[in-house]
Structure 1
């Protein structure tokens, strides 16, 4: 998934907030491509979302 794909799923989260989460180690696991863009496996993104919902419960 690209960062815009993840932001679309997260809805009200800005790009800046997403990158801040990365700085703090709170974002889903991502890999950096040689061109500097970030990608995440959809399964990792979904697992990350699941952990957030478990923490909120």
Structure 2
């Protein structure tokens, strides 16, 4: 179990325990909150796949 040393109210557990995000903005907000609590920053890069039609 990768969460063995995390407290019960850990955002790490909340974010990464098989959670599905319905919107990218929700995921982005959750990740930013988590990394700010542990002292890191993230860079998010978005791209769209082109259709080969």
Q: TM-score, normalised by structure 1?
A: 0.32
Greater relative contact order (Cα < 8 A, sep 6+)? 1
- Structure with the larger helix share: 1
TM-score for the superposition, normalised by structure 2: 0.33
User: Where is the strand percentage greater, Structure 1 or Structure 2?
Assistant: 1
